[in-house]
Amino acid sequence: MADLARTPRQIGTIIQRTRKKRGWTQSDLAARAGLRQATISTIETAETPAKLDTILAVLAALDLEFQIAPRSLGDNADIEDLF
């Protein structure tokens, strides 16, 4: 099942969850994405907005993709599963 993300925090949570499932540290992911570990931390915590190209590099390193779809009503369970 695809994860639904509508906020930077939810994107960060999905990235963090996927990274941990692979047993990678933030440094591991940063090396694979060509970024600094601090950048991964910032994305995962949504402390400051990340550039789209940075998010896309992280997603590519995790073998994930960014999709655009019509906004759905969603389900409370879908959103709560992210936290």
In this predicted structure, what is the pLDDT of residue 76? 57
Query: Could you give the count of Cα atoms lying within 13 Å of 56 in the half-sphere of its Cβ?
Result: 5
In this predicted structure, what is the pLDDT of residue 42? 97
In this predicted structure, what is the pLDDT of residue 72? 81
Q: Which positions ≥6 away from 54 have C-beta within 8 Å?
A: 35, 39, 43
The domains located in the chain, with CATH, are: 8-61 (1.10.260.40)
pLDDT in tens, the chain (83 residues): 588 898 999 999 999 999 999 999 999 999 999 999 999 999 999 999 999 999 999 999 999 999 988 988 765 555 555 55
